[in-house]
Amino acid sequence: MFEERLKEVQDAVEAAMQAAIAAFPQSDLRDAMAYAAQGGKRLRAFLVLESARIHGLTDAQAMPAALAIEALHAYSLVHDDMPCMDNDDLRRGLPTVHRKWDEATAVLVGDALQTLAFELCADPVLGDAAHRIELVKALAVGSGAAGMVYGQALDIAAETAAAPLSLDDIIKLQAGKTGALISFAAQAGAILAGADRAPLAAYAKALGLAFQIADDILDVEGSEETAGKRLGKDADAGKATFVSHLGLAGAKARAAELVAEAVAALEPYGPAAERLRDAARFVIARDK
């Protein structure tokens, strides 16, 4: 049931994303944007569409917001994979943009995908202008110098720090790096509906942390073939992670607790939020 719905979201997002990019003038840049924005779990888009659905909005009414978060996520991956950042050759099972094209293309593709994300937030399909401008603001706060980019900068700074990060530092870093975008995604539906965001914010906070712990576990236990990206990076780099602090069993127990918290936070929405509950369970069960 959850897997079917996720597959449905993946297919709809893929088609809509490629159509949005096809609207740009033909160029190498456009080809590379389409390449970088394809594939992925589309979990963030799923959170947008499901949080919209429990507020009475259809997939079509919320789709530009779902595409916005996926375009923003794709931009961050393209830039993070660059040689001066994480220096990765593989992403979603394919060569990274700077490997398939070059670094200049990777810079420009990331830049253009970020712009596209904000352009999508302005789409009239999303309804009321006041809600769209709230969406722009939430996306900017989540992805900018107080959110994702801030987390990424802390992560890079940590690599040259004298001592490994404490667990509190890692939680702070994670809150920016992956937490901010997941938080945006889960609240997007409430923003578009002009509704109270508090329950979804609580859900997203627990979910984002569980997601990052699961990523750390995957980095240790996962298969590179299934994940479609390089694994074991953190251990190789001697980096402090949830696993290095809590151990594998401890990290799994903490992630399970957080999923229970996330599920509990959805209580106000009743049975309508069942797929969001499934998403939280999926986050720690996934193999990529």
Binding site for a second copy (CB under 8 A): 21, 24-25, 27-30, 33, 75, 79, 82, 84-85, 102-108, 110-112, 114-116, 118-119, 121-122, 128-130, 132-134, 136-137, 139-141, 143-146, 149-150, 152-154, 156-157
Of 106 and 210, which has the nearer Cβ to a second copy? 106
Of 94 and 149, which has the nearer Cβ to a second copy? 149
Whether residue 175 contacts residue 208, with contact meaning beta carbons closer than 8 Å, is answered with yes
Chain centre to alpha carbon of residue 205: 13
Whether residue 225 contacts residue 288, with contact meaning beta carbons closer than 8 Å, is answered with no
d(CA 82, CA 209): 25
d(CA 81, CA 202): 30
Nearest distance, CB of residue 31 and a second copy, angstroms: 11
Chain centre to alpha carbon of residue 274: 20
Of 116 and 259, which has the nearer Cβ to a second copy? 116
Nearest distance, CB of residue 278 and a second copy, angstroms: 31
Nearest distance, CB of residue 44 and a second copy, angstroms: 17
Of 86 and 278, which has the nearer Cβ to a second copy? 86
Main-chain phi, psi angles of 94, to 5 degrees:
-125, 160
Burial class of residue 158 in the structure, from the number of CB atoms within 10 Å of its CB (0-12 exposed, 13-18 middle, 19+ buried): middle
Of 107 and 231, which has the nearer Cβ to a second copy? 107
Burial class of residue 94 in the structure, from the number of CB atoms within 10 Å of its CB (0-12 exposed, 13-18 middle, 19+ buried): middle
Nearest distance, CB of residue 153 and a second copy, angstroms: 4
Nearest distance, CB of residue 29 and a second copy, angstroms: 4
